[in-house]
Amino acid sequence: MPGISREEVAHLARLARLELKDEELDHFAGQLDDIIGAVATVSDVANEDVPPTSHPLPLTNVMRPDTVRPSLTPQQALSGAPAQEQQRFKVPQILGED
Amino acid sequence: MTVTELVPYEEALATYDPVMGLEVHVELGTATKMFCGCSTTLGADANSQTCPTCLGLPGALPVVNATGVESAVRIGLALHCEIAEWCRFARKNYFYPDMPKNFQTSQYDEPIAFDGYLDVQLEDGEIFRVEIERAHMEEDTGKSTHIGGATGRIHGASHSLLDYNRAGIPLIEIVTKPIEGAGERAPEVAKAYVAELRELIKALGVSEARMEMGQMRCDVNLSLRPKGERSFGTRSETKNVNSLRSVERAARFEVQRHAAVLDAGGKIVQETRHFHEDDGSTTPGRVKEEAEDYRYFPEPDLVPVAPSREWVEELRAGLPELPRVRRNRLREEWGISQHEMQSVLNAGAVGLIVATTDAGAPADQARKWWMGELARRANESGTDLADLPIGPEDVARVCALVAEGSLNDKLARQVIEGVLDGEGAPDEVVEKRGLKVVSDEGALGAAVDEAIAGNAAVAEKIRGGKVQAAGALVGAVMKATRGQADAARVRELILEKLGVEG
């Protein structure tokens, strides 16, 4: 029986940098459990000879030639950045004091 | 944590058996990034080579670079790997600002190449086979600059600045199987493997693989187990070891450090470590995340890659001669020992000597110049042989001038010197410096007569059968002609004029 525990939801939330309150963890664990259960019914239908699908279209080898195409200007690239400095994306401190 | 007292290397090896795993990242030399058409040119203005795809903007769709895939297959084939008939890309999810997408597009359980090997030759000629686990396609990350901390370090920085020009440049990650049985030679095997891999990558022409430019980087995984034990110990992963010498030093250091921890009854922490070029030590980085924490899943925006068998065979047929095979062939052609070949290799002279012989010079002459005079000059100026202001054609021309008798060895040396000093091509230097062997028999004859006349006593000895005394007269003639005579011919003339058989 598939399922997801409250601890697993807390772990995933941490990995996804989501801050969840205790009641939210309970709430989402229940909801996610329902979703996983629903998705799992697919396994009941598909036999072993049906490979898992990662792409809906039977396409392979879609490639492009190694030819340079114009890039954005640095101004365009940075236009959506919340902060910038020296023509670079400015991000908050990566490592805390420890 | 206090600094651990290292165990002497030999002592560590008396108790423990090292097991290594080497991960090498190679930046491909494609014109564009792996999944978009942005240029990969180095040294461009910050953030001038980005687009919605490599910035991870909503709605942007990646498309894989055909040359990137071809390079990956060729690397796989050169490493004697199987090539997947069908494989996918996967997202490796993590939060770190070096990737604006919050994931790196990589390959997870379906690498394009797997199960191969690379034979490496150690300095004494022994061949060691390194098994290859896999080679997979992925992309490089952006470049961070940390502001506000001491000497640009991330610790203590107030904030960081990101340039995403490098984000998305094609990378091939090549992973070995656990390297066992190298014993005390483990650090040497690690260095030889990376060196051989670099030669291979260069021979394939898929990357310049310049480690000092970050085009090739090595992570050294190492663990120790008590001798005779079969199961592996806990490993550490020393990241971004970026020169051949450092690969050897990092492996050696970790052997000594692990031994110290284990001897003291401690446990090795599974963690990443940073290597320090200055003293060859490593220090702890972050505790290694579990693989599952990356939440890999198949990349939905890229379709699977399915290299047809015909194409794979076509690429296999087009592979160049492998570097080790080529080296052995050249060594035999040149008729030199393993040891001499190793010196040529270490000096970075193989390609130069080949190019010089291709330009018409005999191999022994080409080797003599590159490994002698020129190696000395390169050493003096602290440059690579290849960066000296003299090329294989110049050296070949000098050899030709010597062969036709226009230059003797001494003059040839001066010509080489002139070329190195920027006086022009060999013929120009000969012209400008007036360096020609005096081949005018009349002029030479006169000089010989003069030498005989001026050294009557010596001449008398030679007449009396003391042929070895001729050296003094040859010297006098060479002096008179400012070294521009063919010494062998001068000797002949002297003996002839004195009526003595040489």
Tell me: do B278 and B395 sit in the same domain: no
Whether residue B388 is contained in a domain is answered as yes
Min Cα distance B149 → chain A (Å) is 10
B431 within a domain of the structure (yes/no): no
Distances (CA, A) of B498 to B84, B426, B448, B455, B493: 81, 37, 10, 13, 8
Cα separation, B145 vs B159, in Å, equals: 9
d(CA B479, CA B492): 17
B236 in Cβ contact with B40 (< 8 Å) = no
Q: Which residues form the domain of B484?
A: 441-498
Residue A22 lies inside a defined structural domain of this protein: yes
**pLDDT tens, A28-45?**
999 999 999 998 888 888
Residues B436-491: tens digit of each pLDDT: 776 677 778 888 888 888 888 888 888 888 888 888 888 888 888 877 788 888 88
Residue A4 maps to a domain: yes
Question: Are B301 and B344 in the same domain?
Answer: no
The answer to whether residue A75 sits within a structural domain is: no
Q: How far is it, in rounded angstroms, from Cα B310 to Cα B152?
A: 50
Of the candidate ranges B146-160, B183-197, B401-415, the one whose mean pLDDT is the lowest:
B146-160
What is d(CA B16, CA B13) in angstroms, rounded to the nearest whole number?
A: 5
A89/B100 touch (CB, cutoff 8 Å), yes or no = yes
Q: Of the candidates B257, B253, B237, which has an alpha carbon nearest to the alpha carbon of residue B245?
A: B253
Give the mean pLDDT of chain B: 91
Q: Does one domain contain both B351 and B454?
A: no
Minimum distance, in Å, between the CA of residue A56 and any CA atom of chain B: 9
Dig out the tokens for A68 from the structure: 């340079």
User: Which candidate in B91, B162, B303 is best for mutational testing of the A interface (most A CBs within 10 A)?
Assistant: B303
For residue B285 the two structure tokens come to 């980085």
- pLDDT band of B53, cuts 50, 70, 90: very high
In a domain, A7, yes or no: yes
Does the pLDDT of residue A4 top 60, yes or no? yes
Same domain, B262 and B119: yes
Query: Could you tell me if residue B450 is inside a domain?
Result: yes
* 8 Å CB contact between B167 and B177: no
Spatial distance between the Cα atoms of B479 and B180, rounded to a whole number of angstroms: 64
pLDDT (mean) for B229-246: 94
Q: Which residue has the higher pLDDT, B152 or A78?
A: A78
Q: Are residues B284 and B396 in the same domain?
A: no
Percent of chain B with pLDDT over 90: 69
Q: Identify the sign of the CA torsion A21, A24, A30, A32.
A: negative
A47 assigned to some structural domain: no
| Inside any domain, residue A71 | no
Instruction: With residue B64 as reference, give the H or E element that holds it.
Output: strand B64-65
> Residue B382, by phi and psi: left (phi above 0), alpha (psi -120 to 50) or beta?
left
Q: Which residues pair with B16 in a beta bridge?
A: B226
Among the partner-chain residues A63, A78, A91, the one whose CB lies closest to the CB of B64 is: A63
Alpha-carbon distance B67 to nearest alpha carbon in chain A (angstroms): 6
- Please say which residue of B354, B387, B406 terminates a domain: B406
- Identity of the residue in A80, A88, A95 whose CB atom sits nearest the CB atom of B46: A88
Question: How is residue B69 written in tokens?
Answer: 């895939």
- What is the average pLDDT across B103-121? 97
Confidence (pLDDT) at B419: 94
Parent domain of A10? 1-30
Residues B15 and B143 in one domain: yes
User: B383, B388, B344: which is closest to B363 by C-alpha?
Assistant: B344
pLDDT bucket at A74, cuts 50 / 70 / 90: very high
Tokens of B186: 């483990």
Whether residue A17 lies within 8 A of chain B, CB to CB, comes out as yes
Q: State how far the Cα of B305 lies from the Cα of B88, in Å rounded to an integer.
A: 6
Q: Measure the CA angle with vertex B323, ends B328 and B381; round to 5°.
A: 95
Residue A57 sits at the chain B interface (C-beta within 8 Å)? yes
Q: Are residues B381 and B491 in the same domain?
A: no
pLDDT at B441: 73
Strand order in the sheet with B297-298: B103-106, B90-93, B297-298
Mind telling me how many Å the CA of A8 is from chain B's nearest CA? 11
DSSP state of B205: T
State whether B220 and B348 are in the same domain: no
Size of interface A-B (CB pairs under 8 A): 132
Distance separating alpha carbons of residues B51 and A73, to the nearest angstrom: 9
Nearest CA in chain A to B148: A93
Residue A1 confidence (pLDDT) above 50: no
Higher pLDDT, B12 or B94: B12
Please count the other Cβ atoms lying within 10 Å of the Cβ belonging to residue B190: 30
| Model pLDDT, residue B443 | 78
Query: B395 and B448 share a domain?
Result: no
In the block, tokens 């359980």 appear at B109
Asked if B32 lies within 8 A of A67 by C-beta distance, the reply is yes
Q: Which of B359, B388, B406 is the last residue of a domain?
A: B406
Report the gap between the CA of A22 and the closest CA in chain B (Å): 22
| B1 has pLDDT over 50 | no
pLDDT of the residue at B291: 53
The SS3 of residue A73 is: coil
- List the single best residue of B45, B53, B161, B287 to mutate versus A (max A Cβ within 10 A): B161
Residues B396-432 have pLDDT tens digits of: 999 999 888 888 888 899 999 999 999 999 999 988 8
Q: How far apart are CA A64 and CA B170, in angstroms?
A: 14
What confidence score (pLDDT) does residue B287 get?
Answer: 64
Token digits of residue B318: 């087009």
- pLDDT for position B480: 83
In a domain, B391, yes or no: yes
B64 vs A: CB within 8 A: yes
Total domain count, chain B: 3
Q: Nearest residue of A to residue B159 by CA position?
A: A93
Higher pLDDT, B441 or B221: B221
In a domain, B228, yes or no: yes
Range list of H helices, B289-406: 309-317, 323-334, 338-346, 350-358, 363-371, 373-381, 392-403
pLDDT-derived band at B499, boundaries 50, 70, 90: confident
**What is the structure's pLDDT at B297?**
93
- Length of chain A (residues): 98
Candidates B30, B155, B159; nearest CB to A90: B159
CB spacing of A55 vs B303 below 8 angstroms: yes
> Does residue B324 sit within a domain?
no
Q: Which residue has the higher pLDDT, A47 or B349?
A: B349
Structural domain total, chain A: 1
Does residue B275 sit in the same domain as residue B379? no
- Whether residue A16 is contained in a domain is answered as yes
Do both B215 and B351 map to the same domain? no
Task: Write the CB contacts of B19 (distance below 8 Å, at least 6 apart in sequence).
Answer: B178, B179, B180, B222, B223, B224, B225, B232, B233, B235
Name the nearest CA neighbour of B470 among B445, B500, B447, B442.
Answer: B500
User: What is the nearest CA distance from A55 to chain B, expressed in angstroms?
Assistant: 6
pLDDT (0 to 100) of residue B155: 75
| pLDDT surpasses 80 at B282 | yes
- SS3 call for B465: coil
Check pLDDT > 50 for residue A98. no
ipTM for this prediction: 0.87
Q: Can you count the helices (H) and strands (E) in chain A?
A: 3, 3
CB-CB under 8 Å, A87 with B100: no
- Tell whether B338 and B304 lie within a shared domain: no
Domain presence at residue A14: yes
- What is the per-residue pLDDT across B177-187, written as a single tens digit (0 to 9) for each? 999 999 999 99
Residue B108 has pLDDT above 60, yes or no: yes
